Structure formats: structure tokens, C-alpha cells
Amino acid sequence: MDVLATAGHVDHGKSALVRALTGMEPDRWAEERRRGLTIDLGFAWTTLPSGRRLAVVDVPGHERFVGNMLAGVGSVPAALLVVAADDGWSAQTAEHVAVLDALGVRHALVAVTKADIADPAPVLADVHERLTGTSMGDVPGVAVSALTGAGLPELAEALEILLAGLPTADADAPVRLWIDRAFTIRGAGTVVTGTLAAGTVATGDRLLLGDREVGVRGMHSLGEPVERAAATARVALNLRGVALEELSRGDALLTPAAFRRTSLLDVTLAAGPEESLPAEAVVHVGSATVGARLRPLDGAVLRLRLASPLPVRIGDRLLLRDPGNRRVLGADVRDVDPPELRRRGAARQRAAELAARPTLLAGAAADLTRRRVVRADDFAAMGWPVPEGATVHGPWLVAPGLADGLAARLPRAVAAYRKAHPLEPGPPAEVVRRVLELPDTELLTAVVRPPLQLREGRVVDGSADLPPAVQRAVDGVRARLAADPFAAPEAGDLTAAGLGVRELGAAVRSGQLLRIAEGVYLAPGIEGEARARLADVAQPFTLSQARQAWGTSRRVAVPLMEWLDRQGVTARLPDNTRRLR
């Protein structure tokens, strides 16, 4: 399906032309038909001779309803500009063309109507010349009469050519359906309509509306029920879980987690710097309309503070409308989460930074470098692609070169910590995270590299060096245990050797001693020695038999046996005897 919007002055025959082309009445309200004036958006559709299906959004032409007109063209890729042969170019024609130009519309067709009552040739030539300097460029034109039908075949042929040249919509993109109508149907409930500019919607989908999810109960497209619709398409969605009074034009249905709502954004004026800008303007995007405060940064760069947040992305085209003089400016979104501007000259510097980003990829690289680390889903929701050289680490996106730079800094940080805390093998992971200014400790696995390693929640260098005096005391204990593996030193002996709780903890963390229980320390490898001696004892065995096999006291034997149970070396039986597993 293809979708285009009409544009043009009131009473130039837009709705009559849509009726002649589609056989449908686009004006929905009785007042519109009574007054012969389109007030709100109208919708109609037809099948062209080639079989191509075309949906038409008919917009109001009166200057008082320009807001409704903007809601209709915001998501539509092509426009049909209607100018009457007996009236020609008018002020409202100019305003609608200014809107299309500000939106950056590149695909358009001119229809000069009422060709049965005036010569269309001068108007065709005049309109063609006026459009040459806009985003639409060299626009073809057709003379037509909705009353007699003259020119309708030629109009259909021209539409075929126009639509064939439209860029292919991305059916795999996330959905952002700007709502342009909302109503209820008896027996069905709440229904919304909009132009699906990208993505695919299917019955049963869950979409985000504000801060909550709603379900797609059913769907119609061009008046027919469908299970699935891919962009570009006009769709009507029957929603589950939302009442009509909770909806309004300008709301958007979104793929969950694919967009972020923002009220602060940096934009660049599409036509370049403007000498005078209002302090406040009306922002239009999709079918949404919201007030905004404007802060010029430098040149064509502005910062907008919206009255309410909108789900916009990097690269979106906004319209800024000055209600005072009806001027309309196009603006491209450059950042949806911009940095604060606190220092003197920060605004000018920010504008220069944005001006130095000629492409979307260059902007993504610069933005990721500024942020250093960001959640990959959040970065994509802003509208950025993944820049070259960036690395994905779990849910995180890491700026190019950052992990290598942090890895080079880490050994000095670990050494400094160990110097300040000689009894610890290395800094805790949380300490390292703060030093490196990382958002999560899971990112340490990207920067901890040999000989450093993550062990038991710390970053250690593998050397396990202890202060010389402590190391000599530990060596003495290990020598004693080498001669008698089960002769755990008494508490008084440990204290006399200078091994307090902190020193013993350091020896255990370094892997030189094994803590069996409070006050009971043995050498690593005791598990194998204990098993070997128990293997020579009849199974099952008592604690007393185990103590005799090990040649130690109950002070050591009791906690050692319980430790072996926990390690899975021995199994305790109901009669309190044990056996080797």
C-alpha cells in the first residue's frame, strides 16, 4: 500500500478530486459536507489501474485548521498539491508548500483542478516554477476536472509513476504509530487510526501507550480486516485495555523499549540560521502538537524544551511553527538526551560539536565517546546506529578504545590499593568500578586482563604477596603443618606469631592457608590427605575413629569432619557415623 496526503488552499477542490479519484467521501462530518469545507482529516482509498493500492489523507485547506493539516502530512511520504485553475497560487497554497518544504518532502505531484472552467496551463507553469526552489524540486503536474472527469486517467498514471519512485519503507523497524483519530465502535471498543510509516503491526501485538502496554485486539486496513500490516499503510487498530477518553490525537503507539520519551532535545534548523526566532513556538511531529521554549545555541543549532515529552529519535524532522506570524521552520533532531550547559561558552561549544558531525555514524561515534558506556538498547532507542569500533559487552555498549584505555590504567589502581591495604589481595570490584567510573561491576570483565583477574569479588594481581612479617609468620605455620597436617595451631600460638584476624584473612585470600572453622586453620590440600587416611578405616566410621586416623584433637576433628561433609567428601548417616562418598 502507498499513502499520500493532499495539500492546497481551501475551496481548490481537494476533497472533490479525492471523491472523483476514489469514489469515496473523504469528509467525515455533516458540518463539513454542509459547508463544503474540510475541517478535520479525511481518508479515502482506491486501487490504481496497475493494482497498486493507494490511501489518501485529505487535509483541510483553511488557514484556521493548519494544525489539522500538519497532523495529516506528518507521517506521509508523498503529497498531492492541489491548485485551482480559476484561482491559482494563493496565500494558503504558499503556507502548505512551506510546510511540505520544511518537512523535507521530496515526492510530490501537482493537480491543477477546475480545468473545465479556466485554462490550467498558466497555473501549471507558475506552480512548477515556484516549487523548483523547494525540497520537492521538479514536480510534474496534471490538469484535471473532478466535475467532468477530464484528466483523471492522466492523474492516475502520474500517481503510478510518483508512487513507484518512493523509497521502500523498513518493515522490520520498530513501530511508532502516531494516532490521528480515536473513536469507539459498538461491540468492539476503542479504535485508533494512523499512518504506519515503518515497522509491522499484527493482531495480538503489545504496544506501549505512554507508560503502559496495550494490546492489539483486531486490525483493519483500507476498510478490510487484516491480521498483519507492514509499512507503509493506513491502519485502524482495535485496542484492548484503554478507554477512548484516555486517548487523543498526537499520542503514539510504540514498540516497547524501542523509543525514549524526551522533553529536552537539540535540533538543527534545516534551512540554516535564522536572524529572529520566537522565545516560544509550537512543535509538530507526526500527528503531535506541543508547545516548546527555544534556546538558540549558535548558528542553526537550537535547544528545545517541550511542554510535554514526545517519543522522538535522532534524525526525526520536526516543524517549528510561530503562531504569531505563521512562519514554519523545519528542524532535524540531533540529540534527545543532550548534556547540560553550565559553563560560560558551553552553548557555543555544543553547537560546534553538533556541526562537526556531518553524518549519523559520525554523530553516533561522538555521542558514544561522550557517554563512554551506555546500555545498547537505550542507545538504539535514541536513534543511533552502533558506531564502528564500539564493543558490546552484555547489555552495554562501550565506546571505541575505552576498554583498552581502562585496562591500561587498572594495574596502577590495583597497586595503589594494595599499597594502602597490604593485607588485602586487591581492591573490591565496587571500588574499582568507582575508580574507573563505570556504571556496573559486570563491565569489569571487559577491562580486567592478565595478570590481573577477578576473584571472589576482588581484582587481584595473582602474586598474593603479603607484608614480609606476615609472610614469615605464615611460612612458619605452613612448615608446622607440613610436618603434621592436622596439627592446627592454637589461637595463642597464632597471636604470638603476629597472626591476628586480618592477617589470617589475608593468608586465606592469598590461598596459603585454609580456614576450616573459627580458630582452625590448615594447609590447602588437606581434603586429599584427610580422604586418604579415612580410606584405610572400616566404613562406616565414627568421629573417634576419624580423629585417631588423623592423629589430632577433637578441637580440630569435629570442625574438620563437618567441613568434609559440606565439601561432599563424607556423608553423615542417621546413626551419626560417616562414610566416604
Going by the DSSP 8-state scheme, the letter that residue 208 receives in this structure is: E
Going by the DSSP 8-state scheme, the letter that residue 245 receives in this structure is: G
pLDDT-derived band at 12, boundaries 50, 70, 90: confident
Average pLDDT score over residue span 197-219 = 93
H/E stretch holding 34 reads helix 30-35
Torsion angles phi and psi, residue 5, rounded to 5:
-115, 145
Q: Return the pLDDT at 41.
A: 65
Instruction: Give yes or no for residue 78 having a pLDDT over 70.
Output: yes
Q: Cβ atoms within 10 A of the Cβ of 567, count?
A: 12
pLDDT-derived band at 36, boundaries 50, 70, 90: very low
Instruction: Give yes or no for residue 34 having a pLDDT over 80.
Output: no
Average pLDDT score over residue span 215-220 = 93
Strands 373-375 and 212-221: unpaired
Going by the DSSP 8-state scheme, the letter that residue 398 receives in this structure is: E
Q: How far apart are CA 386 and CA 379, in angstroms?
A: 8
**Which has the closest alpha carbon to 254: 146, 182, 177, 325?**
177
Q: How far apart are CA 308 and CA 310, in angstroms?
A: 7
Instruction: Give yes or no for residue 468 having a pLDDT over 90.
Output: no
Average pLDDT score over residue span 224-242 = 91
Q: Return the pLDDT at 423.
A: 80
Give one DSSP letter per residue of 257-320, joined into a string: TS---EEEEEEEETT---S---SEEEEEETTEEEEEEEEEEETTEEEEEEEEEE---TT-EEEE
Q: Return the pLDDT at 469.
A: 87
pLDDT-derived band at 556, boundaries 50, 70, 90: very high
Helix, strand, coil share of the chain (percent; to 5): 35, 30, 40
Q: Return the pLDDT at 11.
A: 78
Q: Are 308 and 288 in contact (CB under 8 A)?
A: no
Average pLDDT score over residue span 514-535 = 94
pTM for the full model?
A: 0.78
Q: Return the pLDDT at 419.
A: 86
111-125 burial code (b ≥16 CB/10 A, e <16): bbbbbbebebeebbe
Strands 301-310 and 262-269: antiparallel
Q: Return the pLDDT at 75.
A: 63
Instruction: Give yes or no for residue 63 having a pLDDT over 80.
Output: no
Percent of the chain with pLDDT over 90: 64
The 3-state secondary structure of 359-370, one letter per residue: CHHHHHHHHHHH
Report which listed range, 34-48, 240-254, 290-304, is most confident: 290-304
Cell numbers linked to 490: 592454637
Average pLDDT score over residue span 102-109 = 91
In the three-class reduction of DSSP (H, G, I as helix; E, B as strand; rest coil), residue 192 is classed as strand
Torsion angles phi and psi, residue 65, rounded to 5:
-115, 30
Q: Are 331 and 267 in contact (CB under 8 A)?
A: yes
In the three-class reduction of DSSP (H, G, I as helix; E, B as strand; rest coil), residue 391 is classed as strand
Average pLDDT score over residue span 240-253 = 89
pLDDT-derived band at 398, boundaries 50, 70, 90: very high
Instruction: Give yes or no for residue 436 having a pLDDT over 70.
Output: yes
pLDDT-derived band at 554, boundaries 50, 70, 90: very high
Average pLDDT score over residue span 474-490 = 93
- 390's CB contacts (< 8 A; 6+ apart) are 365, 368, 397, 398, 399, 400
Q: Which residue has the cell 560417616?
A: 578
Give one DSSP letter per residue of 428-451, joined into a string: BHHHHHHHHT-S-GGGGGGT--TT
Average pLDDT score over residue span 211-228 = 92
Pinpoint the alpha helices (H) of 104-151.
Answer: 121-131
Average pLDDT score over residue span 435-440 = 95
Q: Are 350 and 295 in contact (CB under 8 A)?
A: no
Q: Are 422 and 467 in contact (CB under 8 A)?
A: yes
Specify the higher pLDDT residue, 41 or 442: 442
Instruction: Give yes or no for residue 263 having a pLDDT over 60.
Output: yes
Comparing 56-65, 221-230, 404-413, which segment has the lowest mean pLDDT? 56-65
pLDDT-derived band at 72, boundaries 50, 70, 90: very low
pLDDT-derived band at 322, boundaries 50, 70, 90: confident
Q: Which residue has the cell 565414627?
A: 542
Cell numbers linked to 156: 492516475
pLDDT-derived band at 37, boundaries 50, 70, 90: very low
Q: Are 540 and 534 in contact (CB under 8 A)?
A: no
Average pLDDT score over residue span 57-86 = 66
Q: Cβ atoms within 10 A of the Cβ of 95, count?
A: 18
Instruction: Give yes or no for residue 406 having a pLDDT over 70.
Output: yes
Torsion angles phi and psi, residue 477, rounded to 5:
-65, -45
- 564's CB contacts (< 8 A; 6+ apart) are 527, 530, 531, 570
Q: How far apart are CA 234 and CA 221, in angstroms?
A: 6
Q: Return the pLDDT at 74.
A: 53
- 94's CB contacts (< 8 A; 6+ apart) are none
What crossing angle do the helices spanning 501-509 and 468-483 adopt, rounded to 10°?
70
Q: How far apart are CA 283 and CA 103, in angstroms?
A: 12
Single-letter amino acid, residue 452: L
Average pLDDT score over residue span 343-367 = 92
In the three-class reduction of DSSP (H, G, I as helix; E, B as strand; rest coil), residue 37 is classed as coil
Instruction: Give yes or no for residue 289 having a pLDDT over 50.
Output: yes
Q: How far apart are CA 487 and CA 471, in angstroms?
A: 20
The 3-state secondary structure of 53-85, one letter per residue: EEEEEECCCCHHHHHHHHHHHCCCCEEEEEEEC
pLDDT-derived band at 31, boundaries 50, 70, 90: very low
- Rounded to the nearest integer, the mean pLDDT of the chain is 89
Q: Return the pLDDT at 47.
A: 92
Cell numbers linked to 375: 546500555
Q: Are 40 and 69 in contact (CB under 8 A)?
A: no
pLDDT-derived band at 401, boundaries 50, 70, 90: very high
Instruction: Give yes or no for residue 67 having a pLDDT over 70.
Output: no
Instruction: Give yes or no for residue 32 having a pLDDT over 80.
Output: no
